[in-house]
Amino acid sequence: MGAFVKTSESYRPGARTMPGRYYTAPEILAEEQERIFARHWISVGRAADFAAGGDYRLAQLAGESVIVLRDQQGALRAFYNVCRHRGTRLCDAAQGRLSETIQCPYHAWTYALDGRLIGAPHMHEVEGFDKQDYPLHPVALAQWEGFVFANLAPEPRPLATAFAPVLERFRHFNLPALVTVRRTAYTVRANSKLVMQNYSECLHCPTIHPELSTKLPYTSGANDLVEGPFLGGYMEIKPPNASATMSGRACGLLLGDLPPDDRTRAFYYTIFPTMMLSLHPDYAVYYTVWPKGPTESVVACEWLVHPDSPASPGYNIEDAAEFWDRTNRQDWRICERSQLGVASRMYAPGPYSPRESVPAAWDREYLRQLGHHEL
Amino acid sequence: MGAFVKTSESYRPGARTMPGRYYTAPEILAEEQERIFARHWISVGRAADFAAGGDYRLAQLAGESVIVLRDQQGALRAFYNVCRHRGTRLCDAAQGRLSETIQCPYHAWTYALDGRLIGAPHMHEVEGFDKQDYPLHPVALAQWEGFVFANLAPEPRPLATAFAPVLERFRHFNLPALVTVRRTAYTVRANSKLVMQNYSECLHCPTIHPELSTKLPYTSGANDLVEGPFLGGYMEIKPPNASATMSGRACGLLLGDLPPDDRTRAFYYTIFPTMMLSLHPDYAVYYTVWPKGPTESVVACEWLVHPDSPASPGYNIEDAAEFWDRTNRQDWRICERSQLGVASRMYAPGPYSPRESVPAAWDREYLRQLGHHEL
Amino acid sequence: MGAFVKTSESYRPGARTMPGRYYTAPEILAEEQERIFARHWISVGRAADFAAGGDYRLAQLAGESVIVLRDQQGALRAFYNVCRHRGTRLCDAAQGRLSETIQCPYHAWTYALDGRLIGAPHMHEVEGFDKQDYPLHPVALAQWEGFVFANLAPEPRPLATAFAPVLERFRHFNLPALVTVRRTAYTVRANSKLVMQNYSECLHCPTIHPELSTKLPYTSGANDLVEGPFLGGYMEIKPPNASATMSGRACGLLLGDLPPDDRTRAFYYTIFPTMMLSLHPDYAVYYTVWPKGPTESVVACEWLVHPDSPASPGYNIEDAAEFWDRTNRQDWRICERSQLGVASRMYAPGPYSPRESVPAAWDREYLRQLGHHEL
């Protein structure tokens, strides 16, 4: 599902889909990993996931296992999940709570939560060995709207610079304070870019999502971010529906102090390269899309509501969750059929219509970031 | 199983099996796909499979999904299964009946059954867009003896030219009129060429098929097509057996108006590159052998009988089907052991005997078609 | 688990683990197969496995299936498992008893147990064909301490030369006479070298094997083979324990006429490249470690005891077998975590301590044999 265009300011006549190799070639995926996933700010969770000192979660970035943790001083930090001794993976469980240290389970090298090596049995017998030379390798970390972003680049561009166009834009949605009430994940046998493109237009809604189309007419609304790494816009929720739910009713309290217009709108944005953010008056959905291979992706989803919602009368997140579970499965199925087709020798870039201006802009951003200026 | 040689006119002293890489290397399979499977007439079914206008089946050729259909005027046609908009696979089910059109399930681009694009929502907003520029990509189609052949080559050699040596040869077997009464398919963990070679000689019959050998003595008969893309010959059915069945009895009516000699013979032919055709007085078996990787194949089989057979007294296709199910499984097992052996670094081309003159000729044809004139 | 160093004669300050590609790259595995597994004496079983003439077992060496057999004259022989006719794998079952010959199941080419081709149906029709030109391809075979070693090299260095440092060293353990009483095998999702290194040091024992450490203190003992293809040493069995068993009691008779010191010691050696030999007063464990891919290995284990042990009072091999099953599984698990870590882009060779001098020496031998003199 996704936002669509009314205004065509970002549409360039003659815009076409990308060549097939971008969806099938292992070499392209390897380039993506290096030039995009290993250099950009990648969304790895929410600050609220780390309640107490020692709480950690593992993230996968460009094939790397990264430990994201809150240290005992309350700061969020991230490290490569690799012991400096013989390379052993330090943390195994996807999440957990560490004691005051990270100890390697193999030969007991021990690190403080700020990464310093503080114990290394028998290494004092090695002449010239200095624990200061073997801290954990750090990974850059930053936050935006309560979401945590990691960046493998040794000297990353500051997130505040990279996110300048949207730094304040969603402030009224109260995102850092929302609570996660539901999580799910899907495996999709399609290239992750097909998932991002699919989210970015609603021209497919009448054929793929007949039920959704009765609540979110695909010709309503407008795109308001039409070029660059942040893309998307809104659709009007068609009365008498109050939200994008099975019943059409709101499933919880308003997310924040929303202006009247935003109380009847649904917003759909992509945050390049992997994040998708759906904002409804009463709930948000936070997606991350992870390439698992040239032809396979995993999509992780979280449903966020106002912290007072779960205890409020009429709260019913299932009403929204089922709406999107059905819609998302319809989308994954068609993405999988696209994957099969674009692998054909006869597939060639086809023409985008003005109502596919956002996927066209997403493709342009992707190719720019990949450094492929000429196709 | 397969035909054998009595006359040795096609045997060349010193003929040897092919080097191991032809059975194991992904590069060789890729060459095969391009030079053989994407350029030759490949058997994709029988005309009788398409009873009514709109009936379609999917075929897989050189990694391509191809829609084979009968249009509303009664003509058979074939198209790449790829939408011209964003490349989506149009048809998903292996077979079915289309309405008057093929509609892409993603953004509703709609094609007539002759491939013309007749609907493309919102594309009229694109300046210069002309539906005539986006027909489905056609695939060449032709028929021989009721079998349908597809050819991915842009300008294929006419089938009538390619099949000249056998155009009329099997006329008395009445093949176009026969009815398919049974289908099955096997996965074989062996290169498809090992399956073709195995079918092409009966020197292995005494060791591999002791039961079959009592009905079809491996030293009987003669090969009558001994060089080129059509190869094989006949064996004598040993009295008192009347056919190649478990019981030895005929399992149905004579296929056609057979001359007396052919009423006691079984014919085994290969139609390069994937088809095998077994003709008995009372039934035929139509095989196609599909490479799924350098070391895996799928063999599809159909049993064909006279259209009046199923309603005739004494009809018992299971008697033939079980005979070949047992025989075929014995063959697949030994092909799989051959596959394991030819992957060895010590395997080197070994000597063919005069009784393996047909596999030797098949290898020559294969290498010619692959353009490997020197080994 | 493994031996450790007290004396540091083989430790070189600054010794480091190997770069990550040695544990992940398919190219390195291919080099290993050619330069190590296809050129060295590789342990493929025990002479006692071949009780009678015709007994055979299949071994896998560098991707090759090899038939190891005892011929009718009592000699052990080995051959590539490849028919000289069309390459078929001759023997299929992992072990069995042959008649006086090996007959190919495809076209009945028949070989004597010394490899001579003695039957080839219809090949006499081929002018110039001589059975003498088509014997089975032999593989060199030799024995040491009752273990059988095969070598794919066309002209291998004599085993007596290669094994000179250990030819007599274990004589008092009576190894050729021991009986195998238990076999098992494990699949480990780690490079085989990580398994060899893990076996070669006990610095990890306090963290990984807390129970074992109460019976075999990791700071006890000494390494006595510290450079080259044979590496290891001993640990002291801590009283009141008499052996490395769950109960601490001996599980059988003494293996041989052991000097008093050796009755309270456990010896752990690696025999480059795949064999590991654990010697306790009352039982031995014979391991072979087989790479199945860059990141997967199979470890085969056999428990050997004095031939009179099984009938003796107090015999309880399960007491030892369970001890090592637990210990080995702890080891495989940490090897698998090492594998995950060393695949990281941030993994770099880390410093070995003096207590890891044996793995450091093993790495040196490996790199020498691979011909990688500079890293």
Of C208, C345, C353, the CB nearest to A106: C208
pLDDT computed for residue C12 by the predictor:
80
- The separation between the first and the last C-alpha atoms of chain B, rounded to the nearest angstrom, is 27
Chain B residues touching C129 at Cβ < 8 A = 351
- Share above pLDDT 90 across residues of chain B, in percent, rounded to a whole number: 95
Structure tokens at A143: 């936050």
pLDDT band per the 50, 70, 90 thresholds, residue A1 = very low
Q: Which residue has the higher pLDDT, A309 or C6?
A: A309
pLDDT tens-place string over residues B257-268: 999 999 999 999
Distance from the Cα of residue C92 to its chain's centroid = 23
**What mean pLDDT comes out for the span A81-107?**
97
Q: How many beta-carbon contacts under 8 Å exist across A and C?
A: 79
Nearest to A94 by CA among A45, A40, A138: A45
Q: CB-based contact (8 Å) between C189 and chain A?
A: no
CB contact under 8 A, C350 and A65: no
**Closest Cα of chain A to B16: distance in Å?**
36
Determine the residue among C24, C197, C353, C355 to mutate to test chain A binding: the one whose Cβ has the most chain A Cβ atoms within 10 Å: C353
pLDDT tens-place string over residues C217-260: 999 999 999 999 999 999 999 999 999 999 999 999 999 999 99
Provide the 10 A C-beta neighbour count for residue C234.
22
pLDDT computed for residue A14 by the predictor:
73
Chain B residues touching C64 at Cβ < 8 A = 344-346
CB contact under 8 A, A90 and C341: yes
CB contact under 8 A, C13 and A126: yes
Write the CA distances from A253 to A94, A249, A263, B269, integer angstroms. 32, 11, 11, 75
Q: Which residues 18-77 on chain B approach chain A with CB closer than 8 angstroms?
A: 63-65
**Closest Cα of chain B to C64: distance in Å?**
6
- DSSP states along C168-200: TTTGGG-GGG-EEEEEEEEEESS-HHHHHHHHT
pLDDT computed for residue B374 by the predictor:
62
**B258 close to B237: Cβ distance less than 8 angstroms:** no
CB contact under 8 A, C108 and B206: yes
List of residues 6+ apart from B313 with CB closer than 8 A: none
Q: CB-based contact (8 Å) between B244 and chain A?
A: no
CB contact under 8 A, C89 and B20: no
**What mean pLDDT comes out for the span B58-85?**
97
**What mean pLDDT comes out for the span C197-220?**
96
Question: CB burial class (10 A; 0-12, 13-18, 19+) of residue A239?
Answer: exposed
Burial C149-185 (b: 16+ CB within 10 A, else e): bbbbeeebeebeebbeebeeebeebbbeebeebeeee
pLDDT computed for residue B14 by the predictor:
73
pLDDT tens-place string over residues A262-288: 999 999 999 999 999 999 999 999 999
HSE-CB at C206 with a 13 A cutoff on CA atoms is 12
pTM: 0.93
pLDDT, mean over chain A = 95
For chain A, list the contacting chains (3+ Cβ pairs, <8 Å): B, C
pLDDT tens-place string over residues B191-221: 999 999 999 999 999 999 999 999 999 999 9
Dmax over CA atoms of chain A, in Å, equals 77
**C244 close to C285: Cβ distance less than 8 angstroms:** no
CB contact under 8 A, C82 and B341: yes
Q: Which residue of B has its CA nearest to A12?
A: B126
pLDDT band per the 50, 70, 90 thresholds, residue C373 = confident
pLDDT band per the 50, 70, 90 thresholds, residue C1 = very low
Residues A218 and A206: their CA atoms lie apart, in Å, by 8
| Residue pointed to by tokens 């759906």 | A278
CB contact under 8 A, A122 and C206: no
pLDDT tens-place string over residues C13-61: 779 999 999 999 999 999 999 999 999 999 999 999 999 999 999 999 9
Q: CB-based contact (8 Å) between B91 and chain A?
A: no
CB contact under 8 A, B87 and A13: no
- The separation between the first and the last C-alpha atoms of chain A, rounded to the nearest angstrom, is 27
The kind and range of the H/E element at C327 are: helix C317-342
pLDDT computed for residue C10 by the predictor:
67
**Closest Cα of chain C to A250: distance in Å?**
46
pLDDT computed for residue C14 by the predictor:
74
Determine the residue among B65, B86, B132 to mutate to test chain A binding: the one whose Cβ has the most chain A Cβ atoms within 10 Å: B86
CB contact under 8 A, C106 and B17: no
CB contact under 8 A, B351 and C129: yes
Q: Beta strand pairing status for A147-151 and A179-188? A: unpaired
Q: CB-based contact (8 Å) between A155 and chain C?
A: no
The answer to whether ipTM exceeds 0.95 is no
Residue A2 has pLDDT above 50, yes or no: no
CB contact under 8 A, A87 and C13: no
Residues C136 and B43: their CA atoms lie apart, in Å, by 41
pLDDT band per the 50, 70, 90 thresholds, residue A338 = very high
CB contact under 8 A, A207 and B105: yes
Residue B5 has pLDDT above 50, yes or no: no
pLDDT tens-place string over residues B301-353: 999 999 999 999 999 999 999 999 999 999 999 999 999 999 999 999 999 99
Residue B8 has pLDDT above 60, yes or no: no
Q: CB-based contact (8 Å) between B204 and chain C?
A: yes
Structure tokens at B111: 């094609």
pLDDT tens-place string over residues A128-142: 999 999 999 999 999
Residues B97 and B117: their CA atoms lie apart, in Å, by 19
**B25 close to B33: Cβ distance less than 8 angstroms:** no
Distance from the Cα of residue C374 to its chain's centroid = 27
Q: Which residue has the higher pLDDT, A6 or C366?
A: C366
pLDDT tens-place string over residues A7-34: 445 677 779 999 999 999 999 999 999 9
Sign of CA dihedral C170, C172, C177, C180: negative
pLDDT, mean over chain B = 95
pLDDT tens-place string over residues C290-314: 999 999 999 999 999 999 999 999 9
pLDDT, mean over chain C = 95
Q: CB-based contact (8 Å) between B171 and chain A?
A: no
What phi, psi does B278 have (nearest 5°)?
A: -110, 120
